[in-house]
Chains A and B, each alone.
Chain A
Amino acid sequence: MDSGKSKKMVFVTVGTTCFDALVKAVDSPHVRHELWSKGYTHLVIQMGRGSHFPSKFSGEDGSLAVDYFTFSPSIADYLKSASLIISHAGSGSIFETLRLGKPLIVVVNEDLMDNHQRELAEELADKKHLFCASPQTLHQIINGMDLDSLVPYPPGDSVPVAKLINRFFGFPDN
């Protein structure tokens, strides 16, 4: 057993969707190998409504420990304790993770009919706030990622929109 490794958890989330391609990708030996060689010790998968159940590993033999669940009301706790998050491209998950300042790989679901989610993931990847992958390229992205290259995401502000609405009615700005 590799006792020199401190616990580093990777959390995978598909939200309320069904995204088996992502669950299958993180369940593959390729991805598990890349995560382990990057120093991660635990993999927890939130698999949502999908039908592909990943294999569980205890990690006692000195390899990546893998566990999964379908839904949990405490996703926020997993996000907080994770060292890396691999998420579907829903804006809810993306901004929740960015607000926590955690490294994030967004995996775009290429099976969706109207795939506008790619736009947001690519825009944020261009600005170096996160990494963007597809289920097929996930292991390469993990292999090539440099966490130090990530730029913290400046949080948005809804006050300017409220001011715009206020000004329309002639209300003062507070």
Chain B
Amino acid sequence: MEEYLEAGFPKLVLLFVAIIISLIAIRLTYVFLRSGKPFVVPPERVSTMIVLGSGGHTAEMLSIVNVLNKERFSPRFYVSAATDNMSLQKAQVLEQSLLHQGKGNAEAAQFMQIYRSREVGQSYITSVGTSLIAIAHAIWFILKIRPQVIICNGPGTCIPLCVAAFMFKAAGLRWSSIFYIESIARVRKLSLSGLLLYKLHLTDQFVVQWPQLQSKYPRSQYVGRIM
């Protein structure tokens, strides 16, 4: 009996590991195939995370939010980098103006800041450590908010959030649809964030603002310029 156990135990472990790996592979294949497919039954409303990237990125994002239907994309969670003091103010101004127009309600919008993976000019080596902190913070955000939609447009702030959301998606805890809209500043080449999300197939829809970029990245969509 003991001999049987000694001989059989590693085999059992191997079999177990093999089953787990296969299950994960099947699940990931399903998630990748299902991502990017439109909804068959429209949801009534979707909780929406809007990632504000600072400066021109924020301006582009808020112009999109401005034309979204506020009843359907509700509640809205605005996230900016912890070092960015301007973006959330601008989002608050937008939400205030919606309130005045009678299009919003006070509970529909929340504003929060997240640690950033990499500051402008920070070295790529030290950004490994800061990225880990940013991912932990992002997991906490996704756990707390459990958004059905994430709309983002770079720079790096959105990467940990998209990765965390994808982990939740793969684990079957929350299905988030991720929309990435590459900045208008990218004419010939994708940004690092855009390239990462595109290559890893993490987005449901990937939008670019120049036709020459669309022809280079065939899975992307071009629907004109935002700005």
Q: Could you tell me which A residues sit within 8 Å of B by CB distance?
A: 15-16, 90-92, 95, 113-114, 116-117, 119-120, 122-123, 155-171, 174
Residues in chain B near residue A156, CB distance under 8 A: 184, 209, 224-227
Where chain B touches its partner, the secondary structure class is loop
Residues in chain A near residue B204, CB distance under 8 A: 168
Instruction: Give, as a whole number of angstroms, the nearest-CB distance from A21 to chain B.
Output: 16
Nearest first, the 10 closest Cβ-Cβ pairs linking A and B are A170-B42, A91-B56, A156-B225, A160-B223, A119-B187, A92-B56, A95-B227, A156-B227, A162-B67, A158-B63
Instruction: Give, as a whole number of angstroms, the nearest-CB distance from B59 to chain A.
Output: 6
Determine if B38 and A170 form an interchain contact, defined as CB atoms under 8 angstroms apart. yes
A113–B189 alpha-carbon span in the complex (Å): 15
Determine if B68 and A165 form an interchain contact, defined as CB atoms under 8 angstroms apart. yes
Determine if A120 and B185 form an interchain contact, defined as CB atoms under 8 angstroms apart. yes
A interface footprint on B182-203 (CB within 8 Å = 1, 0 otherwise): 0111111101100000000000
A90–B66 alpha-carbon span in the complex (Å): 22
Determine if A168 and B224 form an interchain contact, defined as CB atoms under 8 angstroms apart. no
Determine if A157 and B183 form an interchain contact, defined as CB atoms under 8 angstroms apart. no
Residues in chain A near residue B224, CB distance under 8 A: 156-157, 160
Determine if A113 and B69 form an interchain contact, defined as CB atoms under 8 angstroms apart. no
A163–B64 alpha-carbon span in the complex (Å): 10
A174–B210 alpha-carbon span in the complex (Å): 24
